Amino acid sequence: MGRDIDTDLVTINNIGPATAKSLIAAGIPDAATLRAVGAHEAYRALLIAGERPHFIGYYVLQMALLGRPWNDCKGAEKDALRLRFDSLVTEVRGAPATGIEAKLREIGLLNP
């Protein structure tokens, strides 16, 4: 039986089973919902659900909904997405870490 493009998240290019599972756990149950809420708000839901922030995951989701290859994000577009990502993470997680706390988070010794 074929996959239903309105329901199965993995029918969207760049979204594999692991990402689909995370999206479902975050309250984004299907492709139609993901398209309706958009990549930014879907990533917000992932963060709220406890997903660790990762910029590549953010822009891959953006590219997926634009129907573009994940590595097509470059230059000024990527810089603008980085600003949106950083702002979203700060908004959801609070003030960014600084000093030793930032370094410990960067290497995975502290939760974001």
Per residue in 46-71, is it b (16+ CB within 10 Å) or e — as a string? bbeeebebeeebbbbbbbbbeeeebe
pTM score, whole prediction: 0.78
Closest CA to 26 of 60, 6, 5, 50: 50
Q: Give residue 1's pLDDT.
A: 45
Q: Are 2 and 28 in contact (CB under 8 A)?
A: no
Q: Could you list the mean pLDDT of each consecutive 10-residue stretch along the chain, which spans 112 residues?
A: 68 94 95 96 92 93 95 92 92 70 68 58
CB atoms within 10 A of CB 96: 12
Task: Please count the other Cβ atoms lying within 10 Å of the Cβ belonging to residue 97.
Answer: 15
CA dihedral 17, 26, 58, 63 (to 10 degrees): 60
Q: Which domains does the chain have, with CATH numbers?
A: 9-106 (1.10.150.20)
Under DSSP, the state recorded for 13 is T
Confidence (pLDDT) at 7: 80
